[in-house]
Amino acid sequence: MFVRSIGQFIWILTIGFGCQGLGLAQETKQAANPDAETEKEIRMLPSIDDPSDDEKEQTPVDEMVTRDQVAAKAFGPPPGAKSISPRNLWIDAKKSFVILDGYVAMNDGPLEMFACPAGTKEHESVVATIAKSSEVHAALLAVNAQSGTTVRFLPRYVPATGQRIRVWVCYRDKDGKFHAVDGRKWVQRAESGKSMEVDWVFAGSGFWTDPSDNHEYYRADSGDMICVSNFSTAMMDIPVASSADASQLDYTPMTKIIPQRGTPVRMVLVPIPVPTDTDDEKAKEIKPPTEDILPAVR
């Protein structure tokens, strides 16, 4: 299971509520990711709406605004929700919502993640979030989501387990029209072109200890927040076999319906009630958020 001790349970809850320290003071360290610096360098791949190199050179450094900064100020706080992190992360206990802000990072290219923390794996993820994976994990625990186990490959393949989580992506288009899209609709099977059908599960990632400072770090903070390829470090994964081999990726972005890169979005994660003998249709009751989830900035 994800939580190996009471101490680690307290640890993940502490960082989820925006506190400092306890193994995450050095935010530049990327868990289990020796290529972190390289990934930072390719964080912002050019697109048609990006400024040219000449424009960047002519823009004073203090006037440069990053996409996560834009996303952080795009919407007002969601009504009825409690902020649990300065990184645009809220919970609505009554609705069992975990709400987090981010932006469209990629809409056409190799896909291994659906969502990652900003500054990690934007080059292979549809959405980049302002909050870290560890904070989102704590938020899911706060709305009583049940974590499970990450994928195992040896001695045989065992898929990720955990409570199913519905992912909604909310945004406004260029005309100001509100959209709330099931995140699976933005992911398609590479072979068939059909939307992904399987729900994500709350696998729970894990910890690793840096021998240089003996601190524990949350593995999914390196990028593996919501995955479409199987990773043993995933916070959320799909419970079916899905290759992480770049030449054999099973999923690609549904480019034609994903907004342009940089578009601010608000994701809503909703634990799907576990079916019982008397009610096995609860998943169908998960309705999309309404427009009031995106209040105007005051």
Label residue 274 by pLDDT band (50, 70, 90): confident
Per-residue model confidence as pLDDT tens digits over 17-28? 443 333 333 333
Q: Given the structure tokens 């009751």, which residue do they identify?
A: 285
pLDDT in the model for residue 242: 74
Judge whether residue 235 has pLDDT over 80.
Answer: yes
Q: Are 168 and 268 in contact (CB under 8 A)?
A: yes
pTM recorded for the entire structure: 0.79
Count of beta carbons in the 10 Å neighbourhood of residue 243: 14
Q: Count H helices, E strands: the chain?
A: 5, 14
Q: What is the mean pLDDT of the chain?
A: 82
Q: Given the structure tokens 């927040």, which residue do they identify?
A: 225
Q: What Å distances lie between residue 243 and 42, 48, 105, 169, 248, CA to CA?
A: 23, 30, 21, 24, 6
Buried b (16+ CB within 10 A) or exposed e, 120-151: bbbbbbbbbbbbbbbbbbbbbbbbebbbbbbb
pLDDT in the model for residue 189: 87
In DSSP notation, 58-78 reads: HS-GGG---HHHHHHTSSPPP
Q: Are 225 and 136 in contact (CB under 8 A)?
A: yes
> CB neighbours of 1 closer than 8 A, spacing ≥ 6?
147, 148, 149, 204
Judge whether residue 48 has pLDDT over 50.
Answer: no
Q: Picking from 31-45, 222-236, 260-274, which range would have the lowest pLDDT averaged per residue?
A: 31-45
For residue 83, give the nearest of 17, 131, 128 by alpha carbon.
Answer: 17
Q: Picking from 155-169, 210-224, 276-290, which range would have the lowest pLDDT averaged per residue?
A: 276-290
Q: Report the phi/psi class of residue 200: left, alpha or beta, with left for phi > 0 and alpha for psi in -120 to 50.
A: beta
Judge whether residue 32 has pLDDT over 60.
Answer: no
Judge whether residue 232 has pLDDT over 50.
Answer: yes
> What average pLDDT does the segment 89-93 reach?
98
Q: Are 233 and 222 in contact (CB under 8 A)?
A: yes
Sign of CA dihedral 274, 277, 281, 287: negative
Q: Which two tokens stand for residue 232?
A: 């043993």
